[in-house]
Amino acid sequence: MILKQDASLFDHTQANPWHIQVGSEICGDVQAALDREWLVTNGLGGYASGSLVGATTRCYHGLLVASLQPPVKRTVLVAKFDEIATLHTGERIELGVNEYAQGTIAPEGYRALQSVSLDGDIVCFSYALTETLTLEKRIWMEYGQNTTYVQYVLHGSFDEEGEKSGDEDDPVVLTLDVAPFCLSRDYHSVTTGAADWRFLVEDQGHRCRIRAYAGAPAYHIIADPSATFTPGGVWYWHIWHRQDQKRGLPGQEDVYQPGTFRLTLVPGMHTTMVLTAETETTCSWGYGGQRHETLVTQALMRHRRRVQQILAVAERSGNHLPERDPLFARLVLAADQFIVARPDYAHLSEAPQALRLSPDRKTIIAGYPWFTDWGRDSMISLPGLLLCTGRYSEARGLLKAFASFVHNGLIPNRFPDDGREPAYNTADATLWMFRALDYYFTTTGDWSLIKELFPTLCEIIQWHVTGTDYGIKMDATDGLLQAGAPGMQLTWMDAKVGDWVVTPRFGKPVEINALWYYALTAMETWAVRLSTDAAQYGQLRALVRQHFARRFWYAEGGYLYDVVDVEGVAGRNDPALRPNQLFAASLTHDLLSEQQVTSMLQQVTEHLLTPVGLRSLSPDDPAYQGHFAGDQKQRDSAYHQGAVWQWLLGPYVDVHLQAHNDPATLLPLLKPFAQQLWSTCLGTISELAEPEPPFSNGGCFAQAWSVAEILRCWLLVRDSTR
């Protein structure tokens, strides 16, 4: 059974977790299909992605977006394929779709597109060539390699009238011309072509080696040895990226077509194109047809086996069989896309073939298509992505890796795209690590990791007490953490345009201090177990508890101030109604009274809750912006001034369960996220949404903490309603 969009994901017996499908009602509507996307990944930070109809609507789209220094240095090498199918009658059917400036669509291959589906995490496109003949295109990536497979399978028969369509010894064939659109650029940029610029293409019969220019990364496109390659060398001018245009980015790009591959197919047969930036992979492909198909078959078996293993590991962690919970299965596969390698290049050769994936060198990509790995996002996402899915060794490795980067008591905020030294401008990422460690220990019982990292954790606390970078320091009078430095954004509300920090939150932010209390509580508990001095942590924790509610409770509004002692001015408090206050109750039950939690939750529900997450600011606030769109300045100015964030449903669910203990009433809050698996990027959940109806999705089309928190909440609510 295929999991249809209108199927109930809460009836665990009625759906197959392996398939999620969008049918002709969307695929045949080119405007709707251009606004939906697909994504497959390779565990390195590389990926393949595009719109449902195949057009590249972003500069980030590509069939082969290689991570040349995992998980960064992402480079678009092959943007897409356009195909033309020629029937035995001579009829030509164009399957490609490109959008040009002014909205021109050519060719119009969407007219033949019947459906787009996910088979596990393989994206499948089905084209109706005749009433009895269907062409299926499958795309997946090799785990641990910058290699993409594009497989074509012909189904059905040429015989539409029931007559014999060809001799048994001379079967009728379909001819498929495949034209790659090639690039060689950073995934944030676009290419402007030139009439006198021709890519360097080495024609090797059924395969070609491509470089944009001397010194550029080389990559290969390899077809079955029965295929032929006809060199071309044509620029396609002014391809339009509609999604980038909406974001105020350059909306046009030129792409290079080095030539055309001609393939032949008979019903029941498949043939596969291999796109790779891996030298080792390229050398392994033999020139015989049987060898090519054997390697493809092995690659597909490896891929399917790995998907089965991911779900089996999640099942062994104590969750339902995937067949009984399709939503859980889909979210487990979505979670896998963000878990990638971060090799220690100080100990590895820079050569791609030296890279080997291992659980102890993992990190989390914050979001596709444009984010790298961020400390804050990794720590917030770790419980959902790794612990709720049973991937304990990878969680352990990630925690150790980030702890090894500690500098002046802080873990990195982010790792730049170009591989430079990490940035440390964060007041919360390090504190989120304590929560992730505690969640890890509670889930696994692995005390050895806490014991190993405890000296580092002690140093972190000491740095926060005495003061570290960016004005992060404990106020000895009330035990609360203050943070702020001119021109710096230090909390998760970190939008910045030039020198303008949109939401500076300079002072004592509410969630920073909830996290600080959590960290001190954890340290006290761990110190007792290690038979070391726990009194200092207990005293600091008690000081924070003594002052937290007194300082943060905004009695007139019935909720918590967002920041107290704004810009270091004692008693100057920010009454903006924001979701950050939820962490004061979701992380601990010690800081607020039952009445305060109930009142706060009511205010958050009335002003911030939407069907797709929580607004970042109350609509009643003068700074509220009801629309998230436009150029970078417009978007960043609204990023945390109203835009809805999907991941914030996590703390909301935690607090709601604490206040009301009615998990059944929370199921309707999760249903829109199940439906989103079809509506934005197949099989995953986006970063944010517009704060007003119809709450259109925006930001990254796949976001780690969105998937992580919805997955965690789904298990929490599901298991509470058993």
Cis peptide before 107 (omega within 30 of 0): yes
Measured from the Cβ of residue 164, the count of other Cβ atoms closer than 10 Å reads 9
DSSP code per residue over 535-584 = HHHHHHHHHHHHHHHHHHEETTTTEE-SEESGGG-TT--B----GGGGHH
Question: Of 452, 434, 454, which Cα lies nearest the Cα of 442?
Answer: 434
Name residue 38's beta-bridge partners: 50
Instruction: Please give the backbone phi and psi of residue 611, each rounded to the nearest 5 degrees, phi first.
Output: -65, -10
Residue 566's contacts (CB-CB under 8 Å, 6 or more residues apart) are: 506, 507, 572, 573, 574
Q: Provide the pairing of β-strand 473-474 with 19-22.
A: unpaired
Cα 472 to its chain centre, rounded Å, is 30
Collapsing DSSP states into helix, strand and coil, what is residue 470? helix
Q: Would you state the pLDDT for residue 339?
A: 97
HSE-CB at 168 with a 13 A cutoff on CA atoms is 0
Residue 3's contacts (CB-CB under 8 Å, 6 or more residues apart) are: 9, 15, 16, 17, 19, 20, 21, 326, 330
Q: Whole-angstrom Cα distance, residue 42 to residue 492?
A: 28
Instruction: Please give the backbone phi and psi of residue 491, each rounded to the nearest 5 degrees, phi first.
Output: -105, 180
Helical H runs in 445-534? 447-466, 510-529
DSSP letter at 167 equals B
Q: Would you state the pLDDT for residue 631?
A: 84
Residue 188's contacts (CB-CB under 8 Å, 6 or more residues apart) are: 59, 60, 370, 417
Helical H runs in 629-666? 632-638, 649-660
375-382 and 429-444 helices, crossing angle to 10°: 20
Q: Would you state the pLDDT for residue 384?
A: 97
Cis peptide before 369 (omega within 30 of 0): yes
Structure-block tokens of residue 182: 């090639």
245 class by beta-carbon count within 10 Å (0-12 exposed, 13-18 middle, 19+ buried):
middle
Collapsing DSSP states into helix, strand and coil, what is residue 93? strand
Q: Whole-angstrom Cα distance, residue 362 to residue 386?
A: 11
Q: Provide the pairing of β-strand 559-560 with 72-86.
A: unpaired
Structure-block tokens of residue 134: 């269907």
Q: Would you state the pLDDT for residue 318?
A: 63
Structure-block tokens of residue 63: 């069939």
Residues of the chain with pLDDT under 50: 1-17, 161-167, 287, 322, 345-354
Cis peptide before 71 (omega within 30 of 0): yes
Q: Provide the pairing of β-strand 147-156 with 174-186.
A: unpaired
Are 319 and 328 contacting, i.e. CB atoms less than 8 angstroms apart? yes
Query: In 297-377, at which residue ranges do the beta strands (DSSP E only) sit?
Result: 339-341, 362-364, 367-368
Helical H runs in 21-123? 24-27, 30-34
Are 405 and 374 contacting, i.e. CB atoms less than 8 angstroms apart? no
Q: Would you state the pLDDT for residue 359?
A: 78
Collapsing DSSP states into helix, strand and coil, what is residue 157? coil
DSSP letter at 397 equals H
Q: Whole-angstrom Cα distance, residue 345 to residue 356?
A: 12
What single letter denotes the amino acid at residue 316?
R
Sign of the Cα torsion 718, 17, 339, 688 reads negative
Q: Whole-angstrom Cα distance, residue 445 to residue 637?
A: 43
Q: Would you state the pLDDT for residue 720?
A: 76
Q: Would you state the pLDDT for residue 361?
A: 85
Q: Whole-angstrom Cα distance, residue 683 to residue 98?
A: 24
Are 47 and 143 contacting, i.e. CB atoms less than 8 angstroms apart? no
Q: Would you state the pLDDT for residue 351?
A: 40
pTM: 0.94
What single letter denotes the amino acid at residue 224?
D
499 class by beta-carbon count within 10 Å (0-12 exposed, 13-18 middle, 19+ buried):
exposed
Are 231 and 180 contacting, i.e. CB atoms less than 8 angstroms apart? no
What are the C-alpha distances in Å from 138 to residues 77, 222, 331? Answer: 19, 16, 21
Structure-block tokens of residue 705: 């903490």
Question: Of 434, 419, 425, which Cα lies nearest the Cα of 342?
Answer: 419
Structure-block tokens of residue 361: 């060198």
Q: Would you state the pLDDT for residue 4?
A: 39
